[in-house]
Structure formats: C-alpha cells, structure tokens
Structure 1
Amino acid sequence: MKKIEIYTTMFCPYCARAKKLLAKKGVSYEEIDVTASGEQRDVMTRRAGGAYTVPQIFVDGEHIGDSDYLHMLDNSGKLDHILGAR
C-alpha cells in the first residue's frame, strides 16, 4: 500500500474535495492539518517546492500537487495507477 499524505486546513473546500476523491478511490491517507501550525506549513511548503496553498498531496513522498491536479489526474485515468488503487 502506498503512503498518501494530504496537507489540509479546516473549512477548506478544496481539501474536502480532494479527501472525498481519495475516499472514493478507497485509499487511506494521513491528513496533516496545518491550520494552526506554521511549522507544519513550512514543512509542507518546502516539500511542495514552494507551493503554500492547501491541499498539497504526496504519494510515497512524491509531490502530486493540489486538488485541481489530483482531479485532472483522475479525469485522465492516471490517478488509480499513482495511488495503487483498484
């Protein structure tokens, strides 16, 4: 099983959208809430190559991108392979 991490904040509609898609794919993920943690957000930003918006998604340590990119991968049929789903 691949390790999936998603950095989120509370009340973020894009975060909710990305988590809903991951749940639909039947994969488990670790959610890292950066709402009140500047340190965790700094970690996320470094890992994401400077991206500071949420969500930021990583699969086995590789930066996948944000919610829009996650959905683009799904629409192109590439997401299942990346996630190791189904």
Structure 2
Amino acid sequence: MSLPVVLSCLWVLAAALVALLPMRRQFAPGFVLLAMVPVLIVWLAVTYGVWAGVAILAVFVSMFRRPLIYLAKRAMGRVPPRPSGDDGA
C-alpha cells in the first residue's frame, strides 16, 4: 500500500472517532480534519489519477456536507445558528 492510501485510512479512522464525540467537542478536531483533506485529495489524485480525485472529493463533500454548508453561509455573510447537536441525525 502506498503512503497516501495509508494516511487516508488513518484520516477516515480519525474522522470516525471524532464523530463519536459530543457535538460541542467535535469542532476543533473536525476543523483539523477538514483542513487536511485538500492535501490528501490532491496527493491521491496525483498518485492515482484525476477520476480517483473526483471520486474522493465526492465522498468528502458527502461526508462533510453540513460543515461545508455552514462555512459557505458564513463566507456569504449569512451567519446561521450554531448546531445544537440534537437534530436526531
């Protein structure tokens, strides 16, 4: 196995562990995981091809859709309410 694949597997395990934390404790480690993703996606796309990079990007957007929507709203100047963590999802 190549190094980017091993690091990606470790990233997935870390993301799963962060998901087990209470919502109020997910922000800091979740932000770190969110910041690491572009490097991993580009590295995997260079190693395995553009289509692999597109597939990985689709998986990432699906996994982090709510934080990405929140950050997009903040970037557009609309400040959405902070998630309460009890949405039942």
TM-score normalised by L of structure 1? 0.31
TM-score normalised by L of structure 2? 0.30
**Higher helix proportion (structure 1 or 2):** 2
Q: Which of these two proteins has the greater Rg computed from alpha carbons?
A: 2
**Higher strand proportion (structure 1 or 2):** 1
